[in-house]
Structure 1
């Protein structure tokens, strides 16, 4: 059996073991997937111990995605663009290969599972941390008309936007997409899609933006799922938006990680449907 895990802090709540167990069952892949709690100041040591024990790869969750990228020897283009990694693979010589599957997971869930095209739309991305960094590039690749990054610490949003605006691989896309950084307070205009990549839902805090930015019928997407996403969903619904939690993103990014590790694409739509029923 090949061994994989999700590394993070906290990690006990993670649904990733159940998702990958189902993926391996449906594809006939011989693998085991577990949770590994890493101390906040001990991610590198925990990772080294996992590799030394024979681990073949891992997913990385908060707050270690930037550190995971910096520890890797090689990285995919999407991980380089994000400068963050949520997926690591260990080659035969124990070299770390990094990928970031968050963005493609998010875009697949919105466009395929939710049936909402992002091309030509106005998108608001709330947050400028590791979660936002991982999805900004793939969101741009979906060719929206306008993409605004808003963060409580405005400087972080400016830095994230500037780094993407200067990246050579995005120059053609940015000829047709307006990419801006703004503060949550005083946001101008309204949006077709709002994506919450902040930790506000995880901490039970208020939605970090005024409801006036929502177009009627807008998609309001929270990267959290389950009970943590209920506050954001209620806020969206009460202001005429269509809420969606991040369970589909979790399953779709897991499918991309599974492909990166095993070379096989699992049936993500089926597993998402099964998980929706189980959570209901």
Structure 2
């Protein structure tokens, strides 16, 4: 039996153990998965304790994704782009390999589960923090016509864009897709897809953008799910957009992590349907 878990603070609310338990059941993998609460001021020690106890890997959630990347000895290209990790794998000698499956999960949920192609589309992403950093590269690789990043702190958006612009594999794509960082004021262009990667849903704050950014029938995607995404979903419906919460992203990024660890792709669509039915 191999042991995995999710390391974060808070972590009690996490649905990852249920998701990975179902993945393991459906694929016949001998593994378990638990919740691991890490002290806010000592993530490194909590991670080392998990490695020493025989853990084979872990997911990392807020607020430790940036620190997890820094502690890793090796990192995948997508983790390097994000400078953040949500998936860690441990070698037999305790070495740490970092990956980031958030962006792959988001793109898969939008394109396969929601049936919205991103190629040639105009995309607006709200936020430039850890959630945005993890998905920007995969969104670019999906081939949008234009991708705009906006953030309350203008310099933070510019830093995120500049980091991707320096990456060799994305250089030509960045030139082609006109990746921009804009302040919120005056942002009124129409977009096919609007992605909320801010913490506004968690804090119960107002939607941080003018509704004029939405084309009629646009997809309005909140990375939060359940009750936390209700305000954004209500805003989208009120302005003629199609809302979608981040439950599919949660399941799909978990499936990507599972595949990294076990070499098997679980039936994520089936598990997502089961979770939606359970939540309903």
Class of the TM-score when normalised by the shorter of the 2 chains? over 0.9
- The match for 1:208 is 208
Q: How does 1:113-262 map to 2 (within 5 A)?
A: 113-262=113-262
Distance 2:203 2:93 in 1: 40
- The match for 1:46 is 46
- Of residues 164-173 and 199-208 in structure 1, the stretch that sits farther from structure 2 once superposed is 164-173
- The match for 2:279 is 279
Shift of 1:173: 1.5
Distance 1:169 1:161 in 2: 14
Distance 2:29 2:159 in 1: 41
Shift of 1:176: 2.2
Shift of 1:169: 1.0
How high is the TM-score relative to the length of structure 1?
0.99
Shift of 1:83: 0.7
Distance 1:188 1:114 in 2: 25
Shift of 1:175: 3.5
Distance 2:35 2:209 in 1: 34
How high is the TM-score relative to the length of structure 2?
0.99
- The match for 1:92 is 92
CA contact (8 A) 2:3 2:32 kept: yes
- Alpha-carbon RMSD across the aligned residues, in angstroms, is 0.7
Shift of 1:172: 2.5
Deviations 1:93-119 (A, max 9, x none): 110000000000000000000000001
Deviations 1:16-52 (A, max 9, x none): 0100000000000011101111111111111011111
Shift of 1:185: 2.3
The count of residues paired between Structure 1 and Structure 2 equals 280
- Of residues 106-115 and 183-192 in structure 1, the stretch that sits farther from structure 2 once superposed is 183-192
Segments of 5+ residues of structure 1 without an aligned counterpart are none
